[in-house]
A and B are shown apart, each in its own frame.
Chain A
Amino acid sequence: MKSSGTPGPPGAPKSIVDEKATGLPVFKTWPAVYLFVFATFVVWVLLLAALTGIFS
């Protein structure tokens, strides 16, 4: 791994194990995180649709 200040970009690629770990207490894998984000998006759309339906 190159150190900061040497020619070329520092920070060599992390190990595959590090890349797969999210470090989060609930969502241990990245697909789980993406699924959570997608689910949150769907919930937002549903809430906005409900708001539209109630007050239109």
Chain B
Amino acid sequence: MLGIAAYGVWRTRGQRGLSGYLKGSGTTGWVTIGLSVMATQASAITFMSTPGQGYEDGLGFVQNYFGMPLALILIAAVFLPMFRRLNVYTAYEFLGRRFDTKTRLLGAGLFLLQRGLGAGITIYAPAIVLSTVFGWPLELTIILSGLLVIIYTVTGGNEAVSVTQKYQMLVIFGGMATALVVLLARLSGHLAFTDALTLAGTFHKLNAVDFSPDLRRRYTVWSGLFGGLCLSLSYFGTDQSQVQRYISGASLRESRLGLMFNAVCKIPMQFLILLLGVLMFVFYQFETPPVFFNQSSWQEAAARDGAKFHAVEQKFAAACAQKEQAIRAWLEARRRHDPAAETAARAQTLAAHRQSEEARAEAGTALRQADVHAQTNDGDYVFITFILAQLPHGVIGLLVAAFFAAALSSKAAELSALGSTTSVDFYRHLLKRDAGEAHYVKASRWFTALWGVVALGFALFAHLQENLIQAVNIVGSVFYGVVLGLFLVAFFVRWVRGTAVFFAALLAQELVFCLYFTLNISYLWYNLIGCAACVLFSLLIQAAGFKRKEST
């Protein structure tokens, strides 16, 4: 991984122009763009969490990505040509050209606020897992990974991010494929692949699509199509960390093909990662898993009250043994084509599974009693635990390298986007308009480094707090909808002018803040509310007052 970082710095050495530093040399091909867009989205926490999500809840999470292909088609057809036609450095520069300076700065400011906080989390999340794996102090892993990514993002700029992300994604794909192959080989010792799928289906892990109109269900085809479309439009169309990836293309064709590559590949990719988690679940029906996958947290708590925790472990192990016995009886009944025995064994399997889940719930309760701040969701630790316990040493090294790759990719893209937005939208526009190219490149490097230090500081601070990951996700959703609304008005409502949309965005943001502090709804809805409010207020304000004034 150090080699990949060094390669990125070497390949992009000697860049002097602002455009080359921020947008790359303008020669980036669609494969590099496509992998870079994919790597920017697939942060380390996603890479580590998704198999755990599949392990716990099955394939249903894949519906979250159903809106993404549609959003990417819209972005490739509408957003991208406009960005390229105006030849902008940042997405917010487009807002300045379409509306005015104050609207541009508002969009850029909202992005910096939410992404600046998120940058701290993307480095904190993998660092805590690496700390668990290697036993190093958390602060050390945060600082080491943070400094590495700052160095190669600052020295290489945007093109270094694109160049290195391509190889990092290849490492990630290699690692995931290796894990899948090893898992399938281990499973073949217990049961055939079709039996594995049937067993997973018995536990409802293969319910990939749900056409239920129930709004309370988190993952359905409808929430994925409509909610996912809104989220993907916000993320890919207005978030500078993504926009910067595809406007750096050698041509409109290369950028479009890079986006279409993601539109085609994302759903099968997420499906395979989730399937990896589902197959891990099947594997752990034959190998007793730990009662709580975050073993460092479990052992720390168990040290205080060993007898209680040992009893929970024993109860869980007994339920798992009973379940394995029932599953083997079920498989034997299937081989004998004995439907009655199959039905009986299946019922025993599900009963034993309920007992094992009860033991896991008891483990969570015991943890909370030992430490009220203890995290009882161990989904992020499932894949790490499988890697460390089941895979050969060489493969462990490869997958740990893949974790680093994902962390470096997403972190570098964020820092690069934060640095370029600060430099282009604020520094060059407000403070120093007539300096040379070399000056702006230098300023961008300093701003990137500054954001890197801010992210490092935030990550170190987050170590002292609880629930900060969730808090930053909420902050992102609170701001995302309004930014999307700004862009939708810019693209589709040509008679609305800058002053109207500026005040509409401020009002919409106020509304979202008020609703956030008064309503008790899922934070995901604020994306839709913010967007709809911004568009609606823009139309009303323009129609009410500013239309006549601005047209004269």
Contacts and interface: CB of A to CB of B under 8 A. Distances in A.
Interface of A: 4-14, 18-19, 21-23, 30, 33-34, 37-38, 40-41, 44-45, 48-49, 51-52, 54-56
A38 B69 contact: yes
A52 B208 CA distance: 6
Nearest to B72: A37
B206 A41 contact: no
B260 A56 contact: no
Contacts of B251: 14, 18
16 contacts: A4-B25, A8-B19, A9-B19, A9-B89, A11-B26, A34-B77, A37-B69, A38-B70, A40-B69, A41-B66, A41-B70, A41-B263, A44-B267, A48-B271, A55-B197, A55-B200
A36 to B, nearest CB: 8
A7 to B, nearest CB: 6
A2 B23 CA distance: 15
A15 to B, nearest CB: 10
Contacts of B210: 52
B87 A12 contact: yes
Q: What are the 7 closest A-B residue pairs judged by CB atoms, nearest first?
A: A55-B201, A48-B208, A55-B206, A41-B69, A9-B87, A5-B17, A11-B26
B19 A49 contact: no
B17 A45 contact: no
Interface of B: 16-17, 19-20, 23, 25-26, 59, 62, 66, 69-70, 72-73, 76-77, 81, 84-85, 87-89, 197-198, 200-201, 204, 206-210, 221, 251-253, 256-257, 260, 263-264, 267-268, 271, 436-437
Contacts of A10: 17, 19, 26
A13 B271 contact: no
A32 B25 CA distance: 29
A56 B201 contact: yes
Contact of B209 (A8, A18, A19, A52): A52
A18 B256 CA distance: 13
Nearest to B17: A5
Contacts of B263: 37, 41
Given A5-B20, A37-B69, 14 more contacts: A6-B17, A8-B19, A11-B26, A13-B85, A21-B253, A30-B77, A33-B256, A40-B69, A41-B70, A44-B268, A45-B66, A45-B209, A49-B208, A55-B197
Contacts of A56: 201, 204, 206-207
